[in-house]
């Protein structure tokens, strides 16, 4: 479970920076709405990064903390760092939220099997968060 927690942590760190990059480089007729929504998303993900690391520490795990470790473990693809239209950004963000939802559902199932209700309960919060992002 420690490895999966570190993969989740790494995914969130890279996703945070991806969202921030999109926030900086979004263009198109819905710029103002997209700019604000992307900031909302990366602020929420930033909080989750700390929650995952602290939950891992409370569970007796050692969370990764180096950029090299994050990039080695993540499955989230970075943004290009170029201007992107709203129409291209949000399908990519949706795909990442869907991937994160599957990841936390799997982690919750593992935590339940291991009787680790600390991690299980935290994954419930993330399941709700990602399900809402996908729905909206």
Q: pLDDT (tens digit, 9 = 90+) per residue, 38-63?
A: 999 999 999 999 999 999 999 999 99
Q: Tokens for 85?
A: 């239209």
Q: Which residue(s) pair with 27 in the sheet?
A: 85
Decide if 9 contacts 63 (C-beta within 8 A). yes
d(CA 22, CA 106): 28
Q: pLDDT (tens digit, 9 = 90+) per residue, 93-136?
A: 999 999 999 999 999 999 999 999 999 999 999 999 999 999 98
Q: Torsion angle, CA of 15/19/25/26, rounded to 10 degrees?
A: 130
d(CA 7, CA 83): 28
Say whether pTM exceeds 0.85.
yes
H-type alpha helices, the chain:
2-25, 31-58, 67-73, 86-114, 117-135
Nearest Cα to Cα of residue 15 among 73, 83, 82, 79: 79
84 φ/ψ angles, rounded to the nearest 5 degrees? -140, 145
């Amino acid at each position: 479970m420690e490895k999966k927690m570190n993969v989740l942590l790494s995914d969130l760190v890279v996703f945070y920076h991806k969202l921030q990059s999109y926030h900086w480089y979004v263009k198109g007729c819905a710029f103002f709405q997209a700019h604000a929504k992307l900031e909302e998303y990366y602020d929420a993900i930033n909080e989750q990064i700390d929650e995952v690391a602290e939950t891992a520490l409370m569970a007796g795990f050692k969370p990764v903390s180096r950029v090299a470790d994050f990039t080695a473990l993540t499955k989230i693809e970075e943004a290009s760092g170029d201007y992107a239209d709203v129409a291209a950004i949000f399908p990519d963000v949706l795909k990442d939220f869907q991937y994160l939802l599957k990841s936390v559902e799997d982690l919750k199932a593992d935590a339940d099997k291991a009787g680790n209700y600390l991690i299980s309960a935290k994954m419930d919060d993330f399941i709700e968060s990602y399900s809402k992002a996908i729905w909206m």
